[in-house]
Structure 1
Amino acid sequence: MRDRRVLALWSLFSLLAAGSAGLVTLRPDRLSDLHIYRGALLHLHAGRPLYDFVADNGGPFTYPPFAALVLWPVAAVAEGVVQAVWLAATCLAVVAIAVPVGRVLAQPGPRRQLVVPVVACALMLSAPVQSNLRFGQVSVFIVLLALLDATGAVPARLRGVLVGVAAAIKLTPLLFVVYFVAVGRYRDAARTVAAFLACGVVGLAVLPAESLTYWTEAVRETSRIGNLASLGNQSMHGMLLRLGVDPAALPGLWAALVAVLCGVALLRARHLAGAGRPGHAAVLVGCATVAASPVSWTHHQIWPVLAAMLLVGGVGVARRVAGAVLLVTMVFSLGVLLAPVSTRPGVQFLLENARALGVATLCLAGFGGVAVAATRVRRRATPVRAGLRVATTAVAALAFFAVQPLPAGADPTFKAYALSDTTNPRYFFVCRDAASCAAYDSGAPVTFGVRTEPTKVRVNGVVSPLVARLEYHSAPGGPPRRIPLLEAHPGSRVFSFRSATMTHGRLVAYAADGQPVATYAEELAAAFASAPPG
């Protein structure tokens, strides 16, 4: 019977993998990052600088030169073949990651045979793995190398080498060097550094100009990677950007926050390793790399998925509930899933940064902290009472955020549209030409309409000749956002912007002398409440 269950689970994984890969191939933007890798290498083969390459989707090559050498074969065969092989390799990497995680969760025997395919299925359903498949990313392979090395799955004389190679492809695994030192694995730390430097030397020898460019310029240009304030970046840096932290204070605040998170996570990882739980320790350090990196896109976030499964597979109600919540967060986009709730600004901000907050909490609490809490619950309360405590705490926290405005200036979905966007009817919907805009104008300083979408609100309107400047405040006390006034049609000026919500928003129109001529706050809230879906 157990053999049938194991076979059924692996069959389910095969269906999930085949279905996911098949859906990826139907997308017009399928494996876009792999397309960048291949295009950059073809660019390099043609004798042009690697870091001058920009793909047709605007993406540059952002990895060290050694990564280009590792990826060299993708430029040697047809792109369709590369895509098929890459999708298959990604699915195999998921299985390879599930094996050491299954070893942590279950002792050798029949139960482990069931746990490994369950872990593989959960990984395949998670947003990070789906993102790796969709974009053709290397992140899943980086996690695999670091996990195998840090958990001691490789021969003792080679431990540290895989982390060094992984770091030479993508820098974030270098935090494992500190972990190795913290737990007394000095030889492993030395091998990691040696492997990393050796890979760098190989890159320098084969690609000297590209190595010089990367290590002196490109490595510091994180803006090349994309809009770091977008919701996909669930690192601490990304969340601080969305909070609207002053640019002058951002580096210091981010460094202090990262130092605290990594320091606590490493201390807890050391405790876990000393207690004979190297798998938990490795995953916790991996989560710290997600929190600490300036950029942690969805495809980077495999470590929190592993952490969630370790929590779910642990003991104690609190531990399992925490793991289940984190796992749901890593599988679903809560901002979209809970759109009816998340129109409340505080809730929306919480949900849209749920992964970053979850990783930060894990770094601070650790598996050990949660385990201690679970032990205390077992001693002092029944499982039912423990569950009620967890549920009550969660509801209270959600209620608190529901009544809060967005932090001053924090509006992660805000965008003001430009003249080049005026042809898009999704953004400019109140009027489409000079005649309709003139007819729509009510004679008030600002005349506007509102449309809602699951996670955002769009405002489009026209302004009278009296208005010289238009500003939007996302929340009380927040800095204003300038709204461009666009002369899209003769005799009229239009504007359009999107925001997370209008509940606490305020639109202010100013005359040429800088004096406000109209303020719209209650009107925005009322329009938002009655707006039709976009």
Structure 2
Amino acid sequence: MSQRMRVVGVWSVFGIAAVVSAVLVWLRPASDRLSDLHIYYGAARAVNDGRPLYEYVAENGGPFTYPPFAVLFFRPLALLPEPALQVAWLALTCAAVAALAVAVGRGLSASRLAVAAIACGLLVSAPVQSNLRFGQVSIFIVLLALVDAMGFLPQRYRGILVGLAAAIKLTPLLFVVYFLAARRYRDAARAGAAFAAAALLGALVLPADSLRYWTGTMLQTSRIGDLASLGNQSVQGMLMRAGLSPATLPVVWALLIAAVCAVALRRARALDQHGARVRAAVLVGCATVAASPVSWTHHQVWTVLAAMLLVAAEGAWRRAAGVVLLVTMTLSLGVVLRGLSQYQSWQFVLENARSLGVVAVCLAGFGGAVATVRRRAWLRPVVAVVAGLVVLALTPLPAGADPTFKAYTAADLANPRYFYFAPAPGLAPVSFEVRREKTKTRVNGVVGESVAGLRYTSAPGGAARAIPLLSPAAGVRTFSFRSASLAHGRLDALTAGGAVLASYTEFS
């Protein structure tokens, strides 16, 4: 088969995968189809109707979280019927994936076959699939920043796309720092000017909304959702899941992020000086994922690009690391390795694998512009990995770290997935049934008359969590909660005075 036929074949695979992905998105219930695009669309219509931008809340409870300039892009699009916009958005997202592959391929001087393979790998990754599912703008932010940082634009325009991307979503502002570190001062100035001009335009068109955003809404990260949930693979999200106290978290987070960004920027500057701008840009992009307080799956396209650059690097261990990272960014390790996830140390690593991976990329980089292969160069990373695994196997999960924990309330009583235990009379003090699922374990039971309350502790030294006692019928008090793992958990039944009546640590 000729080279041209192979290229056509791989691009055909990309096209088929793109169509299948788009169709699967379209077949989702209307209320769950391209939900983020629906927020953009609804917010734009609200602004067009003269309503305050940051008071808009979509039917799914999602608010508009970007700067006012971002909504200016969607105002004309809101004049289209929403189904037509959804179809166009899916097509544009797939086109953006292809454009990213072309940009990376050009930066690596890769063959056309390699470019097509990069496009296919990107498309099936979890971040790109998340962009398709939710109708996210993140893929376009990555494309703008990457093309600009790689220097593809004419000299007099470089930096402008980074400034516009930052005006839509603030995290690309780190590229301005990168321009300064790499002594690309004019690029930094143009990026800063473009960002300021876009913010000023937003203020002129939407003065009240701009004032509200820049003086308060910008800092209200709680509007975005539960930052401790597994979907947030930023460093802050990982630290929250590790059980750090609210007083300690900001200090530890700030120190870690300062170190991670400093190392990443230093490595990016060196790569830029050697002409490896695609590696430098992706490294800075990974730093934005690590540093942002919120890095949902669709923000992590940078990490997928980093994995591909590692696969293309010199050195067997770098390639192996790239393959591992690419698998991590495509599959949910907590589901695939659910047997291991029952052990709390492993559970923590698997559930934070993408966060740990992006931090590792920021700290280790991709090596030099051209890596030198030495004898036994593989030995040190292999020893490091083995030592890390041994330490991991012997280290318990941080006390209180249980990101999937949830205690159910009266509003959930009608759901048979949560309340499945058949009450039996005369049980004292507690009787329950355990059900194990792929990534979590559920406990549902009833309590006797002597029990006044329940509390659950995920790990020794962790904070105790109150379990509500519910009364679905006369004479019956039930409870239900879920946890990632019960391996080190303890359920305490309490008297009215708070004394421990009985404790349960066996959940077989």
Q: TM-score band, normalised by the shorter chain?
A: over 0.9
Structure 2: segments with no counterpart, 5+ residues: none
Give distance in 2, aligned partners of 1:483 and 1:137: 36
Structure 1 residue 442: Cα displacement: 4.8
Give distance in 1, aligned partners of 2:73 and 2:380: 51
1:379 is aligned, of 361, 374, 393, to 374
Aligned to 1:4: 5
SS at match of 1:355: helix
SS at match of 1:184: coil
Give distance in 2, aligned partners of 1:341 and 1:392: 22
Mapped contact 1:441–1:447 kept (Cα < 8 A): no
Aligned to 2:78: 75
Mapped contact 2:271–2:368 kept (Cα < 8 A): no
Task: Say if 2:409 is the partner of 1:418.
Answer: yes
Structure 1: segments with no counterpart, 5+ residues: 432-436, 528-534
One-letter code aligned to 1:379:
R
Mapped contact 2:271–2:369 kept (Cα < 8 A): no
Mapped contact 1:230–1:412 kept (Cα < 8 A): yes
Query: So what's the TM-score if we normalise by structure 1?
Result: 0.92
Aligned to 1:277: 276
One-letter code aligned to 2:85:
V
Correspondences of 1:487-506 after superposition (within 5 Å)? 487-506=471-490
Give distance in 1, aligned partners of 2:201 and 2:186: 22
Give distance in 2, aligned partners of 1:424 and 1:249: 37
Deviation by residue 1:180-204 (Cα, 9 ceiling, x = unmatched): 0001001110101100000011101
Task: Say if 2:28 is the partner of 1:27.
Answer: yes
2:452 is aligned, of 468, 490, 493, to 468
Give distance in 2, aligned partners of 1:485 and 1:399: 41
Correspondences of 1:63-212 after superposition (within 5 Å)? 63-106=66-109, 112-212=111-211
SS at match of 1:481: strand
One-letter code aligned to 2:160:
V
One-letter code aligned to 1:134:
R
Aligned to 2:336: 337
Structure 1 residue 396: Cα displacement: 5.1
Mapped contact 1:347–1:398 kept (Cα < 8 A): no
Aligned to 2:420: 429
Give distance in 1, aligned partners of 2:141 and 2:431: 52
Give distance in 1, aligned partners of 2:343 and 2:395: 8
One-letter code aligned to 2:8:
L
Mapped contact 1:90–1:140 kept (Cα < 8 A): yes
Task: Say if 2:399 is the partner of 1:408.
Answer: yes
Give distance in 1, aligned partners of 2:396 and 2:444: 23
Structure 1 residue 104: Cα displacement: 2.8
Give distance in 1, aligned partners of 2:26 and 2:388: 41
Give distance in 1, aligned partners of 2:413 and 2:391: 39
Mapped contact 2:454–2:494 kept (Cα < 8 A): yes
One-letter code aligned to 1:7:
V
Structure 1 residue 370: Cα displacement: 11
Give distance in 2, aligned partners of 1:196 and 1:404: 46
Give distance in 2, aligned partners of 1:443 and 1:88: 59
Mapped contact 1:242–1:410 kept (Cα < 8 A): yes
Structure 1 residue 270: Cα displacement: 0.8
Give distance in 2, aligned partners of 1:354 and 1:397: 14
Give distance in 2, aligned partners of 1:391 and 1:339: 24
Deviation by residue 1:328-369 (Cα, 9 ceiling, x = unmatched): 001111111111222211111101100000011111111127
Structure 1 residue 492: Cα displacement: 2.0
Give the RMSD, CA atoms, in angstroms.
1.6
Aligned to 2:228: 229
One-letter code aligned to 1:273:
D
SS at match of 1:339: coil
Mapped contact 2:108–2:278 kept (Cα < 8 A): no
Mapped contact 1:345–1:402 kept (Cα < 8 A): no
Give distance in 2, aligned partners of 1:395 and 1:491: 55
1:486 is aligned, of 470, 488, 492, to 470
| Cα 1:371–1:478 shift into 2, 3 Å | farther
Give distance in 1, aligned partners of 2:360 and 2:368: 11
Give distance in 1, aligned partners of 2:3 and 2:193: 46
Give distance in 1, aligned partners of 2:70 and 2:489: 46
Structure 1 residue 106: Cα displacement: 3.0
Give distance in 2, aligned partners of 1:392 and 1:332: 26
Deviation by residue 1:154-204 (Cα, 9 ceiling, x = unmatched): 111000000000000000000001000001001110101100000011101
Structure 1 residue 495: Cα displacement: 0.8
Which stretch shows the higher mean deviation, 395-404 or 255-264? 395-404
Give distance in 2, aligned partners of 1:359 and 1:370: 20
Give distance in 2, aligned partners of 1:461 and 1:69: 52
Mapped contact 1:413–1:499 kept (Cα < 8 A): yes
Aligned to 1:458: 442
Query: Greater helix share, 1 or 2?
Result: 1
Give distance in 2, aligned partners of 1:33 and 1:488: 36
Task: Say if 2:440 is the partner of 1:449.
Answer: no
One-letter code aligned to 1:60:
P
One-letter code aligned to 2:204:
A
Correspondences of 1:52-67 after superposition (within 5 Å)? 52-67=55-70
Once the two structures are aligned, what percentage of the paired residues are identical? 61
| Cα 1:264–1:89 shift into 2, 3 Å | same
SS at match of 1:16: helix
One-letter code aligned to 2:469:
L
Which stretch shows the higher mean deviation, 339-348 or 316-325? 339-348
Which stretch shows the higher mean deviation, 212-221 or 125-134? 212-221
Structure 1 residue 446: Cα displacement: 1.2
Give distance in 1, aligned partners of 2:204 and 2:253: 35
Task: Say if 2:14 is the partner of 1:13.
Answer: yes
Aligned to 1:532: none
Mapped contact 1:319–1:370 kept (Cα < 8 A): no
One-letter code aligned to 2:322:
G
Query: So what's the TM-score if we normalise by structure 2?
Result: 0.97
Aligned to 2:44: 41
